[in-house]
């Protein structure tokens, strides 16, 4: 039985198909319409590659499988043969969701999709509804974050390849969990990037901080856009994924009337409409522009129609309030009004205000009548905010447990869709550091030097873990035995409780954006935070020691209300709630 092979190479004068693991069988390809080349041949062992104009054989840009790594030949795989059992799956809408971000390679000791499956029951018990996987498109070596992927259609083989991803999604659906995937369309990694040998996938008209910009609006860009939209279609249909997180969409430079993001949002909505299953596209954007998630309008008016957007300003304000760090981009968030603004009124502290880090005005306001709060995904920790610190320390590593618990309460009772980063829920002792696995010495050294310089500019002294050292990977791998131990188990119970309250208490779901209230009050050497949403109050005492080492409890009127949950030394007596330093309580009614 023959297989039809196709390659888009519009500028080529000759293309050969190379069959077999050693590429020893050469089959000439014929020109077809639109710059495509094609031929039919018996697949043999399933391995194949393309040689353009006499060059060395390179993988298929649309390869579904790279079993020998990103530099080896591609291999055929039939995704229609996956054994799905999720025929009754109806999906999880973004509204009301709670997201859990994880990295497949360090989530479990095996570093595989099957290793993730082993802990899905933990996530169900925790109370999240969406698992967001960091990128799994094939990237160089075994270990890495995945943002240097180069084979966008192939599933990273060390994780378990295409079949492994299908098993994970199927197992998650069986437990009621949706699965989103982080995808990177704004650039490709430097090692194994063979796309430019086939066609004009990149352009020098635009640039990104990470490499060549993808050609979205120049000559040949119709096929480049089709390459990306077909990739979205593959993930959502062939792998049954429920959504995608689109990395750094501000670096998708597109001067066309209809932006690529609008095209992708339309495609996802069409797939949702046909299947009856919500398909969610969430953008990471540095623009603070609510138009990213505003609905599309008639005649091209309105926003791009994406379904959700990360809101990093919420993280920044929480981080500064909890840690006191004000270096770099954190400086603006030392403003006393930052936390009340992002917890009650808008996800964007910079909504047209001056950003000292950028040296200019930044962002624009959110209209709550157009864009509800749940369209913004907010976090206390993410892979970026942990892994891009010099030693990969988590927010809880330098804080009292009660203060970290207060941060969790402020996030999980906020108007935004909450996202946790793996291990956060049990105060994991492990850091999460930056790691790579490049064969090229020059590239490995360039990454080491770049990390050192970046951290020096942020004022972080000390040794930076070597990204190429496998010990950096093992140090970043979760230790699952911790979930049953002491403070780790206590924190896990707190996160479970908060997520349960978020599902069960109407005030935490239904209070419209802008109708919450937030107060900050001095309390000894600390600060009392009060957040009101509907009939629910969150009260947290951050610090509060007298300076002599003795605790100064703060009393909060309970009235006829009740304590729904608390963490730390919280005492209830005579209609008041007494908060010791670094404690938090969730109250309903009264006062």
Q: Helix (H, G, I), strand (E, B), or coil: what is residue 532?
A: strand
58 beta partners: 50
Listed in sequence order, the residues at least 6 apart from 319 whose beta carbon sits closer than 8 Å to its beta carbon are: 325, 330, 333, 380, 385, 395
Of 182, 284, 313, 425, which one is the catalytic site residue? 284
Nearest of 46, 40, 93, 99 to residue 74 by alpha carbon: 46
Q: Helix (H, G, I), strand (E, B), or coil: what is residue 176?
A: coil
Could you say which DSSP state residue 291 is in? Answer: G
Q: Which run of H or of E encompasses 188?
A: none
- Say how far apart CA 147 and CA 188 lie, in whole Å: 8
- Say how far apart CA 190 and CA 6 lie, in whole Å: 25
Give all strands (DSSP E) within 311-415, no chain letters: 353-355, 360-362, 376-379
Could you say which DSSP state residue 466 is in? Answer: P
Q: Which run of H or of E encompasses 472?
A: helix 470-475
Could you say which DSSP state residue 37 is in? Answer: E
Instruction: Decide if 384 contacts 433 (C-beta within 8 A).
Output: no
Torsion angle of the four alpha carbons 385, 179, 243, 7, in this order, in degrees rounded to the nearest 10: 100
379 beta partners: 419
| Range 17-54 burial, b when 16+ CB lie within 10 A, else e | bbbebebeeeeebeeeeebbbebeeeeeebbbbbbbee
**Total residue count of the chain as it appears in this document:** 591
Q: Helix (H, G, I), strand (E, B), or coil: what is residue 374?
A: helix
Query: Can you give the C-alpha Rg of the chain in angstroms?
Result: 25
Cα of 512 vs its chain's centroid, Å: 25
| DSSP per-residue codes, 466-509 | PTT-HHHHHHTS--GGGGGSHHHHHHHHHHHHHHHHHHH-HHHH
Nearest of 199, 237, 280 to residue 82 by alpha carbon: 237
CA triple 299-300-305, angle to 5 deg: 130
Of 16, 101, 132, 247, which one is the catalytic site residue? 247
Instruction: Decide if 419 contacts 377 (C-beta within 8 A).
Output: yes
Annotation says 101 is catalytic:
no
- Say how far apart CA 179 and CA 132 lie, in whole Å: 6
- Say how far apart CA 358 and CA 23 lie, in whole Å: 51
Nearest of 293, 297, 291 to residue 374 by alpha carbon: 293
Annotation says 95 is catalytic:
no
Instruction: Supply the residues annotated as catalytic.
Output: 247, 284
């Amino acid at each position: 039985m023959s297989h039809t092979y196709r390659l888009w190479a519009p500028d080529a004068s000759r293309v050969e198909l190379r069959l077999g693991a050693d590429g020893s069988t050469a089959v000439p390809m014929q020109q077809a319409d639109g710059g495509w080349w094609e031929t039919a041949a018996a697949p043999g062992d399933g391995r194949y590659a393309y040689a353009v104009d006499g060059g060395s054989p390179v993988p298929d840009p649309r390869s579904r499988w790279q079993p020998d790594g990103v530099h080896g030949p591609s291999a055929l795989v039939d995704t229609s043969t996956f054994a799905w059992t999720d025929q009754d799956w109806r999906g999880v809408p973004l509204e009301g969701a709670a997201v859990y971000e994880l990295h497949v390679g360090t989530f479990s000791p095996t570093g595989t999709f099957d290793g993730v499956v082993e802990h899905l029951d933990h996530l169900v018990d925790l109370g999240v509804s969406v698992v967001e996987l960091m990128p799994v498109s094939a990237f160089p070596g075994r270990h890495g974050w995945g943002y240097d992927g180069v084979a966008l259609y192939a599933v990273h083989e060390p994780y378990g390849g295409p079949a492994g991803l299908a098993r994970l999604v199927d197992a998650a659906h069986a437990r009621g969990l949706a699965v989103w995937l982080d995808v990177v369309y704004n650039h490709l990694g430097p090692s194994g990037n063979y796309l430019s040998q086939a066609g004009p996938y990149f352009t020098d008209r635009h640039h990104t901080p990470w490499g060549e910009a993808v050609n979205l609006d120049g000559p040949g860009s119709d096929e480049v856009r089709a390459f990306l939209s077909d990739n979205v279609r593959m993930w959502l249909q062939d792998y049954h994924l429920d959504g995608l997180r689109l990395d750094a969409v501000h670096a998708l430079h597109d001067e066309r009337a209809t932006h690529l993001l609008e095209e992708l949002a339309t495609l996802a909505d069409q797939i949702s409409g046909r299947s009856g299953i919500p398909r969610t596209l969430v953008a990471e954007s540095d623009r603070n522009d609510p138009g990213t998630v505003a609905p599309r309008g008639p005649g091209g008016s309105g926003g791009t129609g994406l379904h959700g957007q990360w809101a990093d300003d919420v993280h920044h304000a929480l981080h500064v309030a909890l840690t006191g760090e004000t270096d770099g981009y954190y400086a603006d968030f030392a403003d006393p009004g930052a936390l009340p603004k992002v917890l009650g009124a808008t996800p964007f502290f910079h909504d047209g205000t001056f950003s000292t880090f950028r040296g200019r005005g930044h962002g624009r306001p959110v209209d709550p009548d157009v864009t509800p709060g749940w369209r913004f995904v907010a976090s206390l920790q993410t892979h970026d905010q942990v892994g891009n610190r010099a030693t990969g320390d988590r927010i809880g590593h330098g804080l009292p447990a009660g203060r970290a618990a207060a941060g969790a309460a402020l996030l999980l009772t906020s108007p935004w869709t909450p996202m946790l980063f793996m291990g956060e829920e049990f105060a994991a002792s492990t850091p999460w550091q930056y790691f790579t696995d490049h064969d090229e010495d020059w590239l490995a050294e360039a990454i080491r030097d770049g990390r050192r310089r970046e951290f020096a500019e942020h004022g972080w002294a000390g040794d930076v873990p070597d990204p190429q050292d496998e010990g950096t990977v093992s140090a970043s791998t979760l230790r699952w035995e911790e979930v049953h131990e002491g403070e780790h188990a206590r924190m896990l119970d707190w996160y479970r409780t908060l997520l349960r309250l978020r599902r069960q208490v109407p005030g935490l779901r239904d209070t419209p954006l802008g109708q919450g209230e937030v107060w900050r009050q001095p309390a000894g050497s600390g600060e009392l935070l009060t957040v009101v949403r509907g009939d629910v109050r969150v009260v947290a005492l951050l610090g509060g020691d007298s300076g002599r080492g003795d605790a100064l409890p703060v009393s909060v009127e309970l009235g006829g209300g009740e304590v729904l949950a608390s963490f730390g030394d919280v005492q209830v007596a005579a209609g008041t709630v007494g908060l010791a330093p670094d404690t938090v309580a969730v109250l309903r009614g009264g006062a």
